[in-house]
Amino acid sequence: MIRTQRLAAGVCALLAALTAGLAFPAGAVADETTATAPKVDLVLDVSGSMRTKDMDGGTRMAAAKQAFNEVLDATPENVLLGIRTLGANYPGDDRKTGCKDTAQLYPVGPLDRTEAKTAVATLSPTGWTPIGPALLKSADDLDGGTGSKRIVLISDGEDTCAPLDPCEVAREIAAKGIGLTIDTLGLVPNVTMRRQLSCIAEATGGTYTSVEHTDELTDRVNQLVDRAADPVVTPVATEGAASCAKAPTLKSGLYTDRAEFGQERWYRVDVKPGQELRTSVSVAADRTVNPGYGVLLRAVTTHGREIVRGEAAGNGRTDVVSTGLRYPKAESDDEDAPAETVCVQVTHSYSAAAGVKTTPGMPLELTVDLVGGPSQASDVASFGLGRGWWLLGALVLFGFLAGVLWGWLSRWRVAVWRTN
């Protein structure tokens, strides 16, 4: 009887396990993890100039291969990594064909280190330098998922496929609001190349680094891949309106938008009684602009009355101008009191330098935070010191008592000395 009961219990447990397996397949968990995993696409210049021997006595290509092998060994397990090349396959002189020479060497996904290293080992410096087309394709490589996305571009020369300006390509990628960052590394201390790679990086909030040694290249790429694995808050793309009436309503969060030169951007935030609205904006100069500029952030009622403002200015030495404001909404005795709609306006006074494209607009990043305000008058004591007032009072009292005691001791010592 007991054996029969145990057998029945075992069968039930097995059926329950099978049912759970059918209801929650392992693949579903893996798919969910992959969807949120950070993605990195290493884009390597394999043009003919990579044959040059000036990296610690070896060629630039050899230095890149060594760096890639070490980076592949150190890549975090949760990072989906891919490798794309530019100028690796077409050795001819036809510009039209050469400017299409970009290929996915290793697809973005879970890393098979042996397979990826084998693919890198086959590379040989060959052709042109189509940076712009490679960036467009790399953005496609990283498409999908909700994790962070990062392109790491390694090149030893400027793009040879104009008029497709790689800096404009980077701005177009940034304007899509997909949270993709491009970091660039230059293998030659060349002024023209540095300007181009810096412009590409700045357009997406990335970084430019000049490297002249193999170990520097390895360390920097490792840092960027590790950075992709760090948890980040991905900004949400939004589109402000030309007036408050048509503006999108934002909740607490981080947002990105684009503002044309001389254009106002409006957003709406609903602030409940007892809440405090804290918002800030940063506008970045992702292209050459005239010196002397500023940014203005205003909180306005729906009737047009200004509540509070924040403003900041730059003189051409800073790439980003930021400002913020705070608006505490008073408590209400009415428990059913409605939220107040606050209109948030962003304007900037950047102006494009001669010959610089004005589109897309300047990138701006907006933070909105709604926090609970002070609910009791006792929370804010006299002179605005809050509860710190009690600490200050205690210190004053302690100092007074210490002074009295020290004076008494001093008089006692003098009296004793005179007696003796």
CATH number at residue 224: 3.40.50.410
Mention every residue, 6+ apart, whose C-beta is less than 8 A from residue 243.
Answer: 266
The answer to whether 166 and 139 have CB atoms below 8 angstroms apart is no
Q: Which pLDDT belongs to residue 232?
A: 62
Q: Which pLDDT belongs to residue 331?
A: 84
Same domain, 138 and 156: yes
**What is the residue-averaged pLDDT of the chain?**
83
Residue entry with tokens 């409006």? 266
Strands 149-155 and 39-45: parallel
Same domain, 82 and 189: yes
Determine, yes or no, domain membership for 86.
yes
Q: Which of 56-65, 270-279, 299-308, 389-398 has the lowest mean pLDDT?
A: 389-398
Task: Convert 39-67 to b/e letters by CB count within 10 Å (16 or more is b).
Answer: bbbbbbbbbebbeeeebeeeebbbbbbbb
Residue count (the chain): 420
Same domain, 183 and 70: yes
Same domain, 196 and 55: yes
Determine, yes or no, domain membership for 172.
yes
Mention every residue, 6+ apart, whose C-beta is less than 8 A from residue 390.
Answer: 381
| Domain endpoint, select from 340, 355, 374 | 374
Q: Which pLDDT belongs to residue 14?
A: 39
Same domain, 240 and 340: yes
Determine, yes or no, domain membership for 5.
no
The per-residue pLDDT for range 300-312, each reduced to its tens digit, is 999 999 999 999 9
Determine, yes or no, domain membership for 150.
yes
| Domain endpoint, select from 177, 209, 229 | 229
pTM across the whole model: 0.61
Give burial (CB, 10 Å; 0-12/13-18/19+) of 36.
exposed
Same domain, 186 and 305: no
Give the whole-angstrom CA distance, residue 283 versus residue 314: 11
Same domain, 215 and 329: no
Determine, yes or no, domain membership for 247.
yes
Same domain, 145 and 261: no
Same domain, 172 and 301: no
Name the residue range of residue 60's domain: 36-229
Q: Which two tokens stand for residue 329?
A: 């909404």
Same domain, 75 and 185: yes
Determine, yes or no, domain membership for 253.
yes
Number of domains in the chain: 2
Secondary structure E strands in 57-111? 58-59, 80-86, 102-109
The per-residue pLDDT for range 79-136, each reduced to its tens digit, is 999 999 999 999 998 988 999 999 999 999 999 999 999 999 999 999 899 999 999 9
Give the whole-angstrom CA distance, residue 71 versus residue 75: 6
Q: What is the mean pLDDT of residues 170-192?
A: 86
Determine, yes or no, domain membership for 416.
no
Q: Which pLDDT belongs to residue 29?
A: 41
| Domain endpoint, select from 374, 395, 415 | 374
Give the whole-angstrom CA distance, residue 407 versus residue 413: 10
Same domain, 72 and 155: yes
**Is the pLDDT assigned to residue 377 strictly greater than 90?**
no
Q: 297-300 long-range contacts, Cβ below 8 Å, gap at least 24?
A: 297/323, 297/324, 297/325, 297/344, 297/345, 297/346, 298/325, 298/344, 298/345, 299/325, 299/327, 299/342, 299/343, 299/344, 300/244, 300/342, 300/343, 300/344, 300/345
Give the whole-angstrom CA distance, residue 297 versus residue 307: 11
Q: What is the mean pLDDT of residues 206-210?
A: 87
Any idea what the CATH number is for the domain that residue 309 is in?
A: 2.60.120.380
**Is the pLDDT assigned to residue 15 strictly greater than 80?**
no
Q: Which amino acid makes up residue 51?
A: R
Same domain, 168 and 267: no
Determine, yes or no, domain membership for 406.
no
What pairs with residue 294 in β-bridges? 313
Mention every residue, 6+ apart, whose C-beta is less than 8 A from residue 223.
Answer: none
